[in-house]
Structure 1
Amino acid sequence: MKDIPQISNAEWEVMRILWDKAPIKAAEVIKTLQETKDWKPKTIKTLIRRLLDKGVIGHTANGNAYVYHVLIEEKEYLDRETDTFLNKLYQGSIRHFMLNFVQEKELSREEVAELIKILENSKR
């Protein structure tokens, strides 16, 4: 897995929009985020700049605006974050994670059945 920079929770919110809607202009990112966040346009532009600096997104000129696109796919980032999470909290053990998860969470019969199906299908 290639080296993927960490992104903050706020940057994650911008990435969610980019993964969903890219290519997209900054004005559209701002409009979309302001529907759910009380963030100023300058704050959002700063987050976009940070993501550019980290090499997670790129841009192309379109007249007097930039159009942003992702350089790291969502699945690739999620895989890295999952590995980081498992290594940090469970010494890389999916077994320990799953044991903790099923012992601490109340699961419905449907959720249990779905987990069993997933586990059965993941046998190699």
Structure 2
Amino acid sequence: MAVSEAEAIIMEVLWRSSPRSAEDILAEVGPQQGWQEGTVKSLLNRLLKKKAVKAEREGRRYLYAPRLTREQYVSQESKGLLDRLFGGRVAPLVAHFSEQKKLSKKDIAELKKLLQELDDEQS
């Protein structure tokens, strides 16, 4: 399931705290995004159709909660990025960041540790 950038903003709100009403979501993200109630409700309807969220009626309003976990979303997005830009391979991604000087000493230490752990698992 592909989640757009705007839909991901709604999902982030729901991952932090749910269930939430459309009005709650609007109050949290509307001002900084410049969104009106109709925009939030349209995004929620798109997410409902994709089965990324579920809705439960409470009185005269609906409360929304995520069906798609943040972990599932991150996994989908990272796999898509790797597939589109790097042929599904991690090494060219890391090489790209190292060429662009985007890796800190801490990043490099964490990568070394991860590689060592992966190597130990395969031994």
TM-score normalized by the length of structure 1: 0.87
| Matching residue of 1:96 | 92
Q: Residues 78-110 of structure 1: CA distance to partner in whole angstroms, max 9, x if unpaired? A: 101111111111111111111111122243323
Q: Match for 1:78 among 74, 87, 100?
A: 74
- Root-mean-square deviation (Å): 1.5
| Matching residue of 2:36 | 40
Give the drift of 1:29. 0.6
- Structure with greater helix percent: 2
Q: Does 2:54 match 1:58?
A: yes
Structure 2 gap segments, 5+ residues each: none
Q: For this pair of structures, how many residues does the alignment match?
A: 120
Percent of residue pairs identical: 28
Structure 1 gap segments, 5+ residues each: none
Distance in 1 (CA, whole Å) between partners of 2:27 and 2:95 is: 42
Give the drift of 1:22. 1.3
Give the drift of 1:72. 0.9
Distance in 1 (CA, whole Å) between partners of 2:103 and 2:49 is: 42
